[in-house]
Structure formats: C-alpha cells, structure tokens
Amino acid sequence: MTNRISTNENSWLKPPDSYQLGTVLDGHVAAAKKTLHGRQLIRNRVAANGRSSIYDLTGLVRSFPLDAEDLPLISSQIDFEVFFGGQAEELAIKIMGGDSAHHGGVICNRVTSGMLGVMLALVTDGDRILSLIPDGRSHPSVQQAVELAGGEFFEARTLSDLDAAFNEGTWRALVITPVTPQKYHLDAADVKKAVSMAKSRGIMVVLDDAHMYSRMTFYQEPPSFDLGDVDVSVWSLDKHVPGPRGAAVVAKREIIDEIYAKVFLFGLEAQTGHYVAGLRGMQALQPGPVEEAGALARELHRRLKKSYGDVVYQAGPGVAISDQDFGSLVKKKAGGREIKLVSSELSVAASFVLLQKFGIVTIPVTSGPGAAPAFRLMMHPDGGRLGLDVIEEAVDVAVNGVAMLVDKPEEAKLLMLGDG
C-alpha cells in the first residue's frame, strides 16, 4: 500500500504508519503463508488430539448458522429472493439504530469489501479523508479503500487534534473507529462530539463500527446511528456475533444507492447462503456470551497487570498488549541476546507458541494480511472452557519462549511459516 503524504509539507497531519515489517514477516505474501500455516497447525492438532484440544480466543467464531429448512429456500436465486430478499438489511438497520424510512443497507462478504464499496461510492480523485482513532491505527482496509478510490487519508487521535485538522483544508469525510483493530476504545461521548464537530462543518461521517456489538455490550454504549448524525456505518457480522464473516453496510437513503451500485459492480455482496447465514447470526444475537467473556477479561486484566504492568490494557471482552510493548517485554527477558526480530514478529511468534504449547488460537494465527500484530487474548468463545489459570501460565510460557528466539530468525520462521 502506498502512503500518500500531505500536500502541505509543513503539516503535522500524516497518514497512519503501516504495521512494522521484519525479515520473517516481510510483507503480504509472508502474512498469507502465516495464515495458511496456522490453519494447518490447527488441523494437525485436532487430528492428533481431537476438537476439544483447540481453544478459540479470537472473539471471531465465524460460524455458518444455516438451518436445514433454509436449504430448499435457497435452491435458486429466485427462491432466495422470494423467501429472504431484504430481510438481513432490514434487521441490520434496526440493530444498528437506524430507521428503514431514512436508511438503506447492503450485506457484504466481509468488512473490507463493505468499506471498499463505501469509499468507491463516496470518494473521488483528490478527496481528503480524515480518520479519528483513540490509539494504534485504523484498519488498513479503510486507508486502502480510500486510496483505491483516489483519495488521500490522514489520521488524528484526539478531539483537539481533530479540531485542528478541520482547519487544514477541505475534507470529504470523517471516518471514526470506536474500537480499533488493536482493541483501543474511543468513548461514545467522544464519538458523539466528533460527529457533531464534523457535521457542523458539513463533513460526511462514516463509522468503522466493526466491533459494534461487543462495544454495545461491554461498554454499554448505543448502536451506530444513536451516536449522532452518522451518514454511513459498517458493522462486522462475525466479531462477537454468532454468524459468518460478513458486514452490514447501512447508510442514509440519499447515498445508499451509490454504495449499492459499487458493491454490485465489483461483486462485493454476500451470496445467497452467506446472506442467510448472516441473517441467522443477527437473529441469534444474545448479550450473555459477551457479558461472560467481559467478566473473564476484567479478571484476566487484573491478573496480568500484576505480572506485566500497565502495558496490559483492557481490550473490551479481552486483554491486549501492543506489539511494541510486547517486544519490549520479550527483549528484557532475552538478556544479552542480539535482537534479530522486530516487535511485530515477536508478538505474532508468541501467538504460535500459544497454539503449539496449549492449543490456543488467537487472531494473529488465523488472520490474513492487514491484521494488527498486537498480542490479543479475547475471552469469547473459549476463555471460560480453558480457564484463567491456564491462560496466565500460557502467557508466561509465550513470553519466555519467544525470548529464546530473538536471535534465531530461522527458528522463528519455521514456527510462524512452516517449512513450505
């Protein structure tokens, strides 16, 4: 991805930094190989020890909840349209706090494609898009979508910086990420203020609200369209939601048609079975599992802070350590060894130690290119089944295990990418 810089060389505004690359995880090809290797390790462990030997701490179940009686109703595109057409959009609008009289929706095959459809519809060559995050960075797919549409992408982290940025030229839209990929959280009160600041200047507002359901449940916050005069919101149908990977894109009536057109033009929409599985996932939403995960996460946060200090942060219904802070922890454990791996590689390597030693699956093991390398332990769905004592032990083993690899990039490569 090309990072465009501000046309004003003296401006403090810049695009977000890309995730750190190293000598092992050196780009998108290596990231894809990592994902394929992680999936193979999961298959190998299940073959050897059974399905119960795997513990999913991703928060991303990505189930496909089709009912048996659904299958005859999607036997053709005509049957699908007759029996299911429009139902998922209508339900998504309701859950996201919209109103069918004023909002429309489209179901996409993942958040990345949903955001691409939005930006292709709303951004033209030379448009400037401003992003607001609490920390870390926005998901790369947002920046990529803006740049594919010909726009420039810049990022701010505070309301004061946002206010200053608004005075630096013309902005097509403000993108707000209430929960970043690293699970940093922007309080709803600040989101509402940012929305109001943008709208008072006539700037369109897009929410990258992928984590909306966990945000609503864990932080007791309102859905997307109850956060102010939001124009478009993108919500993930698999993040703490019992459905498949997918996205609901909901927008005001006056702009949804253009988004529809781009989504259909480039084949970004969910297909029949995928669409119905997304509908079933939304229908099955219950706060209980997220609330239980949240209670575990708060206790795990308390425990890990005792061992590792303030670098451990609450990641909604999970806990996390940034890749930079995780790298610092590992380097301290490594003594005088020469450090030949960057922090993002050390963090991802730790996730593979968790899988190898404990059967724990975390986001870096199964995610593809563009995923944040932060060390994240989400308690949904299997935190309770594994238990906090084991998770505590596993974190210690991972930190110490990776400390033994800092000067052994070939061993780290074998761990993360396999020998293929």
Q: pLDDT value at position 369?
A: 86
Q: How confident is the model at residue 89 (pLDDT cuts 50, 70, 90)?
A: very high
Q: pLDDT value at position 7?
A: 43
Cα–Cα distance measured from residue 203 to residue 157, given in angstroms and rounded to the nearest whole number: 18
pLDDT tens digits, residue range 295-337?
A: 999 999 999 999 999 999 999 999 999 999 999 999 999 998 9
Q: pLDDT value at position 5?
A: 38
Q: State the greatest distance between any 2 C-alpha atoms of the chain, in Å, as a whole number.
A: 67
9 pLDDT exceeds 60?
no
Contact assessment for residue 7 and residue 320, using Cβ atoms and an 8 Å cutoff: no
Q: pLDDT value at position 258?
A: 98
Greater pLDDT, 419 or 186: 186
3-state helix, strand, coil in the chain (%, to 5): 50, 15, 35
Q: pLDDT value at position 47?
A: 99
Domain boundaries, the chain: 28-57+286-417, 68-283
**Beta strands 128-132 and 152-156, pairing class:** parallel
User: What would the mean pLDDT of 169-181 be, rounded to a whole number?
Assistant: 97
Task: Report the 3 state secondary structure along 310-359.
Answer: HHCEECCCEEEECHHHHHHHHHHHCCCCCCCCCHHHHHHHHHHHHHHHHC
pLDDT tens digits, residue range 196-225?
A: 999 999 999 999 999 999 999 999 999 999
pLDDT tens digits, residue range 344-370?
A: 999 999 999 999 999 999 999 998 888
Q: pLDDT value at position 11?
A: 65
Q: pLDDT value at position 393?
A: 99
Q: How confident is the model at residue 1 (pLDDT cuts 50, 70, 90)?
A: very low
3 pLDDT exceeds 80?
no
Instruction: Tell me the pLDDT of the chain averaged across its residues.
Output: 95
Cα–Cα distance measured from residue 27 to residue 378, given in angstroms and rounded to the nearest whole number: 25
231 pLDDT exceeds 70?
yes
- Residue 272's H or E segment, with its range, is helix 272-283
User: What would the mean pLDDT of 220-237 be, rounded to a whole number?
Assistant: 99
Q: pLDDT value at position 70?
A: 97
Pick from 384, 388, 213, 184: nearest CA to 301:
388
Q: pLDDT value at position 14?
A: 84
The CATH number of the structural domain formed by 68-283 is 3.40.640.10
38 pLDDT exceeds 90?
yes
Over pLDDT 90: what percentage of the chain? 93
User: What would the mean pLDDT of 5-21 be, rounded to a whole number?
Assistant: 69
Q: Helix (H, G, I), strand (E, B), or coil: what is residue 301?
A: helix
Cα–Cα distance measured from residue 173 to residue 384, given in angstroms and rounded to the nearest whole number: 41
Q: pLDDT value at position 6?
A: 41
Q: pLDDT value at position 2?
A: 36
Contact assessment for residue 210 and residue 241, using Cβ atoms and an 8 Å cutoff: no
161 pLDDT exceeds 70?
yes
134 pLDDT exceeds 90?
yes
Q: Please, which residues have CB within 8 angstroms of residue 317's CB and are 6 or more apart in sequence?
A: 59, 214, 217, 218, 240, 290, 293, 294, 296, 297, 378, 379, 380
Q: Tell me: domain 28-57+286-417, CATH 2.60.40.10, correct?
A: no
